[in-house]
Structure 1
């Protein structure tokens, strides 16, 4: 792997114009949409799912002013793509021509092969003489390579309406990331004013809840106009999964909490539209409608990204014994077998698992009503309280037992679950029996990133940070001894470093999510030493 300082130098050499959004309108134009002051590449460029010899490239073309996202109109058009180790594109590593049109909302995905492992590349698109901004990407190390270090940005829950994406800006400015992992809720389906209760900074478009294919295409397009999001997409590859809001809140295989068949049609039609738009607009590989997949990073790490919405059973109420039914599943039988076989059979040292909802067993303690109510609302639980978080793995205990049993029986070491969803920060051991911990051994660990913007406890209660939430945090860690840390107030991004000696996550927090230029500070850091299956607090963030 290159030293991160080398990659910063590459980014500086590329120049701000290469990564900036403004580059799309500063380039030569022809008779395309740019002639009418509509940027041809107004949604930026992106890359994703890096392999040792390839990477997926993405962009969206607006060939005419009428060819707006979701419109279904506009011409078929040919687009040239180029990849080079040289930011000036003096020598090309790969190039080609592809086409797009209204059938795929004028989006482009190119799966480029024939590249070298562990190498920085620059890429761009050209249509009728108009060039896109330049993006930077990076291939994964060879599968048998000895890798000394990997660094990933880890983010989730980026609600456009609740604030600006300054957390993305921070990650883009670092210049030392091999990839960004987005753990779900890349966008939200709500109408303007829907869902945010702490702040309402900028309205959603279209001005309604997303239900149709055109709606989801327009919502994806809106998010990709954010300059910080565009900059981070252009700075390194992304590896993403979805959670519920990419379709609808509290989604399961046959419906969602935020879907009303009587007025919003069949859920299967809505889900298909949302999935189609996601695969059009995101730099992600898919086999049909299958999102779960694995990516290898040398001998050091294997990353498993799960889909925990498409195949799951419907959620049950808290306090219900239904959570233990053996026929209930969060992953689906096929994906669960695939997950377990991958963990048991992996030859990589670190087994990283991207899971959109928490797998750590969590009991909700008795709290004053003014605290318990907002907490349960935030976690999607019935307001009368409950002992388990039924939208998480706590609501599907049979699947969790199968995973933990396999880790124990096969003595699998160094498994770390990476999670989003709960708009808060967590570091936890995952014991074989949470009730007997610490006598029961820890079989894995979980590190949970907070939200980029979505509301958490202080936002819901409309109180100053580090006031009411402190009581909630102490109650949770007191009742759940395997949970070492919870922080319920802050928004931001995390950075994960993986080395042979250990895996460390640093949490970085925004001063104010409502400001696009918000300052960022280091919050906490936790380390999982190799072979321990336990988290421990450390003082210093990664250099």
Structure 2
């Protein structure tokens, strides 16, 4: 039964509509100032830089690929001879970039190639989408500008729609705060074999200030300009922050080794933001900041043209198929959510928390997700998303504070999520989550208050890559959380990533960890492994 909106809800909806209307009318000038020119100028009006005049390596930020389809994949790079300068050393001139795709690393079996323009309006980023490729095939790619050639990237396409691949392999990563440590886990991920795609689940960068020596990296050889030692709020700030992150050699290695499928969480804009709700600043100022952050996100990641932002909007939720073995529904749990109730930390739920119309995904995305499950013919339905879906209690006796920023703070939205799974008859649901800087393995229950309740799927939560600094295998609250949450099978506080291997019979999750990130070079190990069998949701130790 549809619930009527409360007066408070009507006011909130009206406020959101007003914010958007003000953005499109009275604040358009503010956003235009924040973004600069929105689209490239006509070709005849663009000053062009002679590529032979570029006397420094323009490929300092590496290469990347992403969003693989059976016949195409996105290829990305951004030209930046001076990556820590606001104009990247290229001022406002367009640059012609040549690209190549081949079946071998030596480029003797060339498959495709061409020329693309790196426009100053997009900070000299390029997104190339070669078509007509072979399904589930490994390719190599590179870019050339004048005398300079980029590093070689390796990518692969998805299986054909009617293919039944014998297996698939994904890696889940999240939360890479540069100032908290090295991206050592990404170096190990780059060396993993047969990865069909890396799933980045948010917090690709952090908005917080970074000092001259990289924060907890404490690298005396690093001398970052003062412009990094401030919170990001403008388009220039966000662009520079992506340059800093892309300059990391471990991140570059992981991008060059595998195609990535990305979604965001909060720190790509601001900690714990929700939809258009201001952070204490006027609504139009926050929307201008969000527009700048979204613009920089698109510019710096291998996303397809439909993900190009429009003002302060960017449709990031999307669906990818990997043959008949896996369907991926990539969610956006930030752009459309209601504001957190009772604050955004751990709080005892209130009457406001329980309002039946509260949403995490927004009504349009909820319908899209439910329809996708109804039409799915995949063995495994993966849902890469941001915040923990399963209930988490941090004590064994009530009252029970819950995380208001996670799905615990949106119980009605979670109930609709579960009902959609049940209505669609989804048998093998795999929710893949980031955000919390720890590894969890959890069973998703129909009713968390009933220990005999049916398990409808599994949730695999990956820890951070660096955020939080050095971790420990058993944090101080380990026993309490394990006792308070019977559906929780595993909890580890170290840094790392999760490897997911799928076949017709089962899913396997390997929780990979490194002990130290404040110093480079730590080895990687597998802390635990779990499996879930086809048609029998629930995790058991491997």
Task: Work out whether residues 70 and 215 of structure 1, in 8 Å CA contact, stay in contact via their aligned partners in 2.
Answer: no
Decide whether aligned partners of structure 1 residues 242 and 356 sit closer, same or farther in structure 2, where only a CA change above 3 A counts.
Answer: same
* Correspondence for 1:83: 101
Within 5 A, what are the aligned runs for 1:120-199?
120-192=138-210, 199=216
Decide whether aligned partners of structure 1 residues 63 and 39 sit closer, same or farther in structure 2, where only a CA change above 3 A counts.
Answer: closer
- The CA deviation at 1:485 is 1.8
- The CA deviation at 1:366 is 5.6
Question: Of 295, 317, 328, which residue of structure 2 is paired with 1:292?
Answer: 317
Q: How many residues align?
A: 476
* Correspondence for 1:307: 332
Within 5 A, what are the aligned runs for 1:226-375?
226-255=248-277, 259-261=279-281, 266-285=285-304, 286-287=306-307, 288=309, 289-317=314-342, 318-319=347-348, 320-365=350-395
Cα distance in structure 2, aligned partners of 1:229 and 1:413: 35
Question: Of 488, 491, 499, which residue of structure 2 is paired with 1:483?
Answer: 488
The question of 1:442 aligning with 2:455 is answered yes
SS of 2:536's equivalent in the other structure is coil
- The CA deviation at 1:445 is 0.9
* Correspondence for 1:404: 418
- The CA deviation at 1:97 is 0.9
- Residue by residue over 1:232-284, the C-alpha shift from the partner in whole angstroms, topping out at 9 and shown as x without a partner, is 1011100010000000000111236xx4417x971100000000000000012
Task: Work out whether residues 112 and 130 of structure 2, in 8 Å CA contact, stay in contact via their aligned partners in 1.
Answer: yes
SS of 1:150's equivalent in the other structure is strand
TM-score (norm 2): 0.83
Decide whether aligned partners of structure 1 residues 144 and 505 sit closer, same or farther in structure 2, where only a CA change above 3 A counts.
Answer: same
SS of 2:483's equivalent in the other structure is helix
Decide whether aligned partners of structure 1 residues 65 and 415 sit closer, same or farther in structure 2, where only a CA change above 3 A counts.
Answer: closer
Moved more, 268-277 or 147-156: 147-156
SS of 2:67's equivalent in the other structure is strand
* Correspondence for 1:380: none
Task: Work out whether residues 509 and 530 of structure 2, in 8 Å CA contact, stay in contact via their aligned partners in 1.
Answer: yes
* Correspondence for 1:99: 117
Decide whether aligned partners of structure 1 residues 236 and 90 sit closer, same or farther in structure 2, where only a CA change above 3 A counts.
Answer: same
Cα distance in structure 2, aligned partners of 1:409 and 1:486: 31
* Correspondence for 1:9: none
Task: Work out whether residues 66 and 73 of structure 1, in 8 Å CA contact, stay in contact via their aligned partners in 2.
Answer: no
Cα distance in structure 1, aligned partners of 2:109 and 2:148: 20
Cα distance in structure 1, aligned partners of 2:319 and 2:247: 29
- Residue by residue over 1:122-151, the C-alpha shift from the partner in whole angstroms, topping out at 9 and shown as x without a partner, is 111111232111111000000110111111
SS of 2:97's equivalent in the other structure is strand
- Residue by residue over 1:292-334, the C-alpha shift from the partner in whole angstroms, topping out at 9 and shown as x without a partner, is 1111001100111101000011001222222221221110100
Cα distance in structure 2, aligned partners of 1:522 and 1:479: 25
Gap regions ≥5 residues in structure 1: 1-28, 368-383, 460-464, 539-543
- The CA deviation at 1:62 is 3.0
CA RMSD of aligned residues (A): 2.5
Cα distance in structure 2, aligned partners of 1:214 and 1:516: 29
* Correspondence for 1:13: none
Moved more, 273-282 or 124-133: 124-133
* Correspondence for 1:513: 517
Within 5 A, what are the aligned runs for 1:100-119?
100-119=118-137
Cα distance in structure 2, aligned partners of 1:356 and 1:301: 19
SS of 1:321's equivalent in the other structure is coil
SS of 2:210's equivalent in the other structure is coil
Gap regions ≥5 residues in structure 2: 1-49
Cα distance in structure 1, aligned partners of 2:183 and 2:321: 29
Cα distance in structure 2, aligned partners of 1:325 and 1:451: 32
Cα distance in structure 1, aligned partners of 2:438 and 2:416: 27
- The CA deviation at 1:519 is 1.3
- The CA deviation at 1:193 is 6.2
Decide whether aligned partners of structure 1 residues 357 and 514 sit closer, same or farther in structure 2, where only a CA change above 3 A counts.
Answer: same
